[in-house]
């Protein structure tokens, strides 16, 4: 079903809208039928003239309040009809061919932010109006005004705290403790790409700094650990390609190649998916294998286990 958002404007007041609505088919016609058929209601007609306000039920009071607000719109339409304006003169479609959620959003935006409910005869600001800024309010609103970067930063900080609370950092800290001579980028694990909690160990290879990233690969269980060798900068990627070319005949089969034609990750197929490390001891063993591969001069200098990681099969 196709929805639209419309306004009813006042040609006697610079065509300013006095009502915003959404609907399907010819929903806006109902306002004019009401204006033609209705008569003004008063407190006396509603039998509230002798009542204290506390004696009126909440629902009755809401209905009474709504009837006056509705009359404000209806009376304005009557006034314009008396000035010989017709429906086609004062109804304007703002947006059409919408689904209902989008129509709700545009309606609320117009009422609360663009025109201001105080300048309209609408009873409410619209669905999810809390998502929109009040009309002509340009002061910073705490909790509402923030940059996307601030929101992302706050969200990541909360998620990081949740992972710490669940103990996801503990296996990583055990691995770090097993290598006191290795330089780690951070004192404690951090939330990095794919929202995985990870540690980064840095190795100096001549003029090149290479990085082993150890990260927990799941947000559900803290006993699944993935280790990979990653190069972030161009000179690191170039070193990785050259280094693995010295070890194997076809290094691109072992490395994840980026769009620039250079490798960015070495993750052995024997360690992927269901074969990720399930214990800290297994993760420490794999860490040592990566270190051996990083420092290897050639294939012959590697252990049989490290060779097998590179796809070497003993003849």
User: To which H or E segment does residue 17 belong?
Assistant: strand 16-23
pLDDT at residue 163, as a whole number: 82
pLDDT at residue 51, as a whole number: 42
pLDDT at residue 8, as a whole number: 94
- The confidence band for 167, taking pLDDT boundaries of 50, 70 and 90, is confident
Summarize pLDDT for 112-159 with one digit per residue, the tens: 999 999 999 988 888 888 889 999 998 877 777 766 655 556 677 777
- The confidence band for 189, taking pLDDT boundaries of 50, 70 and 90, is confident
How deeply is 41 buried, as exposed, middle or buried, from its count of CB atoms within 10 A (0-12, 13-18, 19+)?
middle
**Longest pairwise C-alpha distance within the chain:** 105
CA distance 182 to 287: 11
Is the torsion defined by CA of 181, 185, 189, 193 positive or negative?
Answer: negative
- The confidence band for 52, taking pLDDT boundaries of 50, 70 and 90, is very low
pLDDT at residue 44, as a whole number: 40
Beta bridge partners of 255: 266
User: Does residue 94 or residue 184 have the better pLDDT?
Assistant: 94
Summarize pLDDT for 32-47 with one digit per residue, the tens: 877 777 644 443 444 4
Is the torsion defined by CA of 63, 64, 65, 68 positive or negative?
Answer: positive
pLDDT at residue 273, as a whole number: 81
Is 18's pLDDT higher than 70? yes
pLDDT at residue 302, as a whole number: 93
- The confidence band for 49, taking pLDDT boundaries of 50, 70 and 90, is very low
pLDDT at residue 155, as a whole number: 72
Q: What is the average pLDDT value for the chain, to the nearest integer?
A: 80
């Amino acid at each position: 079903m196709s929805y639209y958002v419309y306004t009813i404007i006042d040609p006697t007041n610079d065509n300013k809208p006095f009502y915003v609505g959404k609907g399907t088919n010819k929903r806006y016609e109902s306002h004019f039928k009401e204006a033609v058929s209705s008569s003004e209601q008063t407190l006396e007609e509603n039998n509230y003239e002798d009542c204290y306000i506390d004696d009126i039920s909440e629902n009755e009071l809401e209905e009474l309040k709504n009837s006056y607000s509705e009359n404000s719109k209806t009376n304005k339409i009557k006034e314009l009809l008396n000035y010989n304006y017709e429906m086609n003169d004062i109804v304007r479609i703002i947006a059409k061919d919408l689904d209902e959620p989008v129509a709700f959003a545009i309606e609320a935006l117009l009422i609360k932010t663009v025109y201001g409910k105080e300048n309209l005869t609408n009873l409410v600001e619209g669905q999810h109006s809390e998502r929109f800024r009040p009309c002509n309010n340009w002061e910073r609103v705490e909790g509402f005004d923030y940059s996307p970067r601030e929101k992302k930063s706050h969200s990541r900080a909360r998620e990081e705290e949740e992972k710490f609370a669940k103990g996801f950092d503990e296996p990583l800290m055990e691995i770090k403790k097993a290598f006191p001579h290795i330089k780690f980028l951070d004192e404690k694990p951090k939330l990095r790409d794919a929202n995985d909690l990870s540690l980064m160990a840095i190795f100096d290879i001549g003029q090149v700094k290479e990085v082993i990233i150890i990260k927990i690969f799941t947000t559900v269980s803290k006993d699944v650990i993935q280790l990979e060798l990653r190069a972030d900068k161009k000179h690191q990627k170039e070193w990785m390609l050259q280094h693995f070319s010295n070890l194997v005949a076809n290094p691109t089969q072992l490395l994840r190649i980026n769009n620039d034609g250079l490798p960015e990750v070495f993750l052995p197929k024997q360690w992927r998916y269901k074969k990720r490390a399930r214990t800290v001891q297994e993760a420490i063993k794999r860490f040592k294998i990566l270190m051996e591969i990083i420092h290897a001069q050639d294939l012959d200098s590697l252990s049989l286990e490290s060779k097998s990681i590179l796809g070497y099969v003993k003849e």
